[in-house]
Amino acid sequence: MQAELTLKDIYLARQRIATLAERTPLLRSESLSRRWGCEVWLKLDNLQPTGAFKLRGSVNALSGLESEQRERGVVTMSTGNFGRALAYAGQHLGIPVKVCISHLVPDNKVEALRLAGADVVIHGATQDDADTQARRLQHENGLAYISPFDDPLVIAGQGTCGLEIMEQQPEIDTVFAGLSGGGLIAGIGLAVKTINPQAQVIGVSMNEGAAMLESLSAGHPVQVGEVASLADSLGGGIGLDNTWSFAMTQRYMDRGYRVDEAQIARAMLHLFNQEKLIVEGAAAVGIAAVEQHQIDLRGRRVALVISGQNVSPKTFAQACRLAGENDHAYL
């Protein structure tokens, strides 16, 4: 029987990642606070050195490797941001990193992976295909496989984001974050709910290919089809042999929402127009969920995790066009 992660693991992770990952700002959004009738704060993890929250878990996972494994190196699959973070951390820690991605990963993220020092392997049409290739390389080359989400050290590292939120604004009672493989929600949920058990932790996925939400509905991990989305970093499955993130998401996430592409586009444009932030679709899904589902947040203290800024000009232009084709009065 595996041991459960605790808040202590997140504190230990914070010590390990301090030299490479930033303690990011939590800034009040005047525009959203007025619109929703509550206090809204933006957790700006787009300001991490690699442009996304994934650096937290990557550094913690690599720091936990034995010296022999550090020499042989590691392999992962990624939609872009985790691989980039792992490669960045690997360069600083002297650990070779191989990253398997699918053909769905945008060109800007592929180039960023290579610039970060990753040995990039493009394989298959989905992240499940890329994961199969990563597992193959793990066994063929004696590499350590690091999951972007289903790994206790990764989850503890991502949990430092939730710990910072509660330290920066202890009265936060609602946290929105993107939901993909569940590593971010699991880590944030553990931190936030250990500190304030009454707090609400809300995950948001795109309409199609929401693997974790489908799995939670089924009561066990399931496979889903993967489609292109403005929130491309939320794509991919959770693994049928999921060990950590599925159970922790079940335990710590209070509600999950799906959002359509038009709402994601509108939210991205809002963050650009009102907050002067250029972000990925996955970073804007919290706003999209509140708007699309008309969630009543009056009187609450809300944190939105702005998870990353690694959006290509092509994708951002697509979001602007899509938002322009729809009613976007709230912008």
**pLDDT at site 104:** 86
Nearest to residue 159, comparing CAs of 125, 118, 189, 120?
A: 189
**pLDDT at site 44:** 98
Residue 316's SS3 state is helix
Residue 97's SS3 state is strand
Tell me the domains of the chain and their CATH numbers: 7-53+151-324 (3.40.50.1100), 54-145 (3.40.50.1100)
pTM of the model: 0.95
Buried b (16+ CB within 10 A) or exposed e, 145-177: ebbbbbbbbbbbbbbbbbbbbbebbeebbbbbb
Secondary structure (DSSP) of 159-194: HHHHHHHHHH-TT--EEEEE-SSSHHHHHHHHHHHH
**pLDDT at site 226:** 86
**pLDDT at site 241:** 95
Per-residue pLDDT of the chain (331 residues; tens, 9 = 90+): 477 999 999 999 999 999 999 999 999 999 999 999 999 999 999 999 999 999 999 999 999 999 999 999 999 999 899 999 999 999 999 999 999 999 988 898 999 999 999 999 999 998 889 999 999 999 999 999 999 999 999 999 999 999 999 999 999 999 999 999 999 999 999 999 999 999 999 999 999 999 999 999 999 999 998 888 999 999 889 999 999 999 999 999 999 999 999 999 999 999 999 999 999 999 999 999 999 999 999 999 999 999 999 999 999 999 999 998 765 545 5
